Amino acid sequence: MSIMTDSPLSDAALHNAAECLRVIGHPARLRLIGMMREGRHSVGELAGACGIPPNQASEHLRLLQRCGFLRLEREGRSCYYSIGDCTLSEIMGCIDRRFGEDRKG
């Protein structure tokens, strides 16, 4: 049995993937993403639901947006975030299936 060492992804793509997975892999960010799967939310709504200060929520959202996962809509002085990349919902679906409360065994 041979071990494949060739990845279909370039080194740069692997680096980018690892960085984006690192960004997703924070409990507060996972919670924020979970909320945004239900629709768009303001920073204040997201912060309140997660029990974190708005400035912390903004920083988490900025990191997720930097990876291209979020869409930002401005309405007056308010900013609303939503999922901007369907692959993020797919990744979260995998996490739900693996770690969800209903998982057996």
**What DSSP line would sit under 10-21, residue for residue?**
-HHHHHHHHHHH
pTM: 0.83
C-alpha 24/C-alpha 81 separation (Å) is: 15
42-68 pLDDT tens trace: 999 999 999 999 999 999 999 999 999
C-alpha 74/C-alpha 80 separation (Å) is: 6
Q: What percent of the chain has pLDDT over 70?
A: 90
86-96 pLDDT tens trace: 999 999 999 99
C-alpha 66/C-alpha 85 separation (Å) is: 12
Q: Say whether domain 12-98 belongs to CATH 1.10.10.10.
A: yes
31 pLDDT exceeds 60? yes
